[in-house]
């Protein structure tokens, strides 16, 4: 089907609009999408440093050029601006037309000569690690004036769907190029290499999120040059190539709906602040835990904190206790139990590491607190932490002393969270 722009095939100006399925979905996914998109951009340029490919191509605002150049300089790479574009991402349409977006190539100094002189978009495809089959497919679609090759990707696909770029408008993608099909083996190989880079540089969690989103069920349709992409979390409308009849395809998948108020169960009014506090806590803990540690959170809410910690430390076993029955139900199966900390059922799990906020102990009767401290005495590592709300009552050292732990080694102090390790003296 001819879809090139001709006097009889009108093409709309670039546009993309999306809407979330609910306020909870927006609150939960929107910041995560941004985090994932930023992580992908970072991994794209790190892949050059790691030798996964010779070059990375990114669109940056003129104001980001200095950071990009310095980032490259400190890693022995070069940044070569190649051209200007009105688009924010390689194939995205999130920015208005203009010349303030600069396309840059991250490259090793020895490969610099292959980038310039710039003779059009296609000549560095190989350096960018784009598989030959995908480069051919690109030339046959975009190269001939198309503005979208999603339908061709789908029609080239046989069997199961593994890889796609359906959420590229949101910055969610696992490869930087448009794969020729949803099961292009070479694209899948590049995806795996990028995931290893992500893991190495601490973006494993964001890449897991990208994979989760890629696994959502999707319904795609197109008519008269307008695409509708519907997933359980959001609907995207964007420009495509003009077609006279309705085309559509569906991709099966799995979607886990964020539970309304899941962040409230953990004591936060919005998911963003919760994630930020959890992130700070995670980063101070993840390298302090012994291998294969059994980690228990006393007052675990729905277990989100430890579930994230396990993404960084897959070797650990996690569990927790909370008095909130609904939160524990949301934590799911495994070692998540409803109960009071002072009942000390959790000691049967023989934890190597316990996390607890000092406030839990000061809320108890002195007898219960004494009992709990006794149980904690046999745990090799006890981490105390406090979030912003309780830190207004005093710093963590002060709160820890009140809870009967006069000796702690401080690990992290931020306005959102403080963390310390209980020591004997």
> Which residues of the shown chain bind Zn ion in the complex (CB under 5 A)?
131, 133-134, 180, 184
Q: How far apart are CA 122 and CA 54, in angstroms?
A: 15
Of 129 and 358, the one with the shorter C-beta distance to Zn ion is 129
Give the nearest distance from C-beta 177 to Zn ion in angstroms.
Answer: 9
Give the nearest distance from C-beta 161 to Zn ion in angstroms.
Answer: 14
- Reported residue count of the chain is 425
Of 47 and 280, the one with the shorter C-beta distance to Zn ion is 47
Up-side HSE of residue 231: CA atoms within 13 Å toward CB? 25
Contact 336, 314 (CB under 8 A): no
Give the nearest distance from C-beta 82 to Zn ion in angstroms.
Answer: 23
Of 130 and 336, the one with the shorter C-beta distance to Zn ion is 130
Q: How far apart are CA 217 and CA 102, in angstroms?
A: 34
Give the nearest distance from C-beta 180 to Zn ion in angstroms.
Answer: 3
Of 133 and 421, the one with the shorter C-beta distance to Zn ion is 133
Q: How far apart are CA 392 and CA 191, in angstroms?
A: 45
| Cα R_g (the chain), whole angstroms | 25
Q: How far apart are CA 172 and CA 419, in angstroms?
A: 33
Give the nearest distance from C-beta 315 to Zn ion in angstroms.
Answer: 35
- DSSP lists the bridge partners of residue 421 as 383, 409
Give the nearest distance from C-beta 186 to Zn ion in angstroms.
Answer: 5
User: What end-to-end distance do the CA atoms of the chain give, in Å?
Assistant: 77
Of 184 and 355, the one with the shorter C-beta distance to Zn ion is 184
Contact 239, 11 (CB under 8 A): yes
Of 36 and 134, the one with the shorter C-beta distance to Zn ion is 134
Q: How far apart are CA 241 and CA 144, in angstroms?
A: 12
Contact 131, 187 (CB under 8 A): yes
């Amino acid at each position: 089907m001819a879809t090139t722009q001709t006097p009889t095939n009108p093409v709309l100006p670039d546009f993309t609009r999306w809407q979330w399925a609910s306020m909870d979905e927006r609150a939960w996914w929107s910041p995560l999408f941004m985090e994932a998109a930023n992580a992908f951009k970072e991994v794209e340029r790190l892949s050059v440093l790691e030798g996964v490919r010779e070059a990375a191509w990114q669109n940056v605002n003129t104001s980001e050029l200095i950071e990009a150049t310095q980032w490259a300089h400190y890693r022995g790479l070069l940044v070569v601006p190649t051209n200007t574009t009105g688009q924010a991402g390689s194939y995205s349409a999130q920015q208005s037309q203009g010349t303030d977006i600069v396309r840059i190539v991250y490259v090793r100094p020895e490969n610099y000569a292959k980038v310039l002189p710039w003779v059009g978009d296609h000549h560095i495809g190989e350096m960018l690690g784009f598989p030959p089959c995908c480069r051919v497919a690109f030339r046959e679609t975009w190269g001939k004036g198309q503005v979208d090759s999603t339908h061709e990707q789908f029609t080239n696909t046989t069997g199961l769907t593994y890889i796609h770029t359906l959420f590229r408008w949101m910055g969610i993608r696992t490869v930087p190029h448009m794969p020729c099909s949803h099961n292009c083996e070479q694209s899948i190989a590049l995806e795996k290499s990028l995931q290893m880079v992500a893991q190495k540089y601490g973006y494993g969690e964001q890449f897991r999120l990208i994979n989760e989103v890629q696994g959502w069920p999707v319904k795609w349709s197109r008519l008269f040059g307008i695409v509708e992409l519907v997933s359980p979390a959001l609907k995207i409308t964007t420009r495509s190539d003009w077609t006279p009849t309705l085309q559509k395809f569906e991709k099966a998948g799995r979607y886990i709906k964020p539970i309304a108020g899941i962040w409230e169960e953990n004591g936060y009014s919005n998911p963003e602040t919760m994630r930020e506090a959890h992130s700070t806590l995670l980063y101070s803990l993840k390298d302090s835990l012994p291998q294969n540690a059994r980690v228990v959170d006393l007052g675990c809410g729905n277990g989100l904190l430890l579930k994230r910690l396990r993404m960084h430390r897959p070797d650990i076993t996690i569990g927790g206790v909370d008095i909130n029955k609904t939160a524990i139900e949301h934590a799911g199966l495994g070692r998540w139990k409803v109960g009071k900390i002072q009942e000390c059922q959790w000691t049967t799990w023989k934890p190597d590491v316990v996390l607890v906020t000092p406030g839990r102990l000061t809320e108890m009767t002195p007898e219960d607190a004494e009992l709990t401290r006794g149980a904690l005495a046999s745990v090799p590592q006890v981490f105390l932490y406090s979030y912003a709300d309780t830190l207004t009552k005093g710093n963590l050292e002060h709160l820890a002393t009140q809870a009967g732990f006069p000796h702690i080694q401080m690990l992290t102090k931020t306005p959102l969270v403080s963390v310390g390790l209980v020591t004997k003296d």
